[in-house]
Amino acid sequence: MTVLVNPYIMLNGNAKKAIEFYAESLDAKVLFQQTFGEAIEDPERPLPEEFKERVAHSVLKIGEMELLVADSEPGQQTHTGDRVTICMTTNEVEKAQQMYTLLQQGGKVNIPLTETYFSPAYGVVTDQFGVTFQIFTRK
């Protein structure tokens, strides 16, 4: 039996922009992307026209893990929270600096990227979509 734990980022209409951003910032490869318009429509719940181009589901490959990104369904709203963060771990300080720099564009720095007692480069940033990333470099 295989069990995987995948972070799933739900957004309010800007998932396509987020997917492009993560592809650039995190070297993510888009494995799958489907819009609500491409999915099978439920006749009991007609799809508003403005949702047809929104992302119903996507899978991004980042290193050895998969990140899932989608827009919320019609009638649902997502809310930004801070209980869960995504920790990006690398063994290269330069890669940590690159991810940190790109992720903070349009976002905010929570903890500056710096050397700590537990990491040669650690920092925390909330990106332009309200998702908080910890950037951690292994010793």
Kindly report the number of other CB atoms within 10 A of residue 92's CB atom: 12
pLDDT band at 7 (very low <50, low <70, confident <90, very high): very high
Contact 18, 70 (CB under 8 A): no
Task: Pick the range with the lowest mean pLDDT from 52-66, 67-81, 85-99, 121-135.
Answer: 67-81
Quote the number of domains for the chain.
2
**Same domain flag for 12 and 67:** yes
Same domain, 65 and 107: no
Radius of gyration of the chain from its Cα atoms, rounded to whole angstroms: 17
- Decide: helix, strand or coil at residue 6: coil
Q: Is 0.95 surpassed by the pTM of this model?
A: no
Specify the DSSP class assigned to residue 16. Answer: H
The answer to whether residue 135 scores a pLDDT higher than 90 is yes
CATH number of domain containing 12: 3.30.720.100
Structure token digits, residue 99: 């991810």
* Residue, of 138 and 74, whose pLDDT is higher: 138
Average pLDDT score over the chain: 92
Same structural domain, 13 and 65: yes
- The Cα 102–Cα 122 span in angstroms is 15
Q: What residue has token string 């893990």?
A: 65
Domain co-membership, 65 together with 93: no
Same domain? For 13 and 67 the reply is yes
Query: Range of 114's domain?
Result: 86-137
What does the pLDDT look like over 53-84, one tens digit per residue? Answer: 999 999 999 999 999 999 998 888 888 777 78
CATH of the domain at 90: 3.30.720.110
**Res 1 pLDDT > 70:** no
pLDDT score recorded for residue 2: 66
CA distance 33 to 16: 9
8 A C-beta contact, residue 31 and residue 66: yes
Do 32 and 65 fall into the same domain?
yes
Say if residue 115's pLDDT is above 90: yes
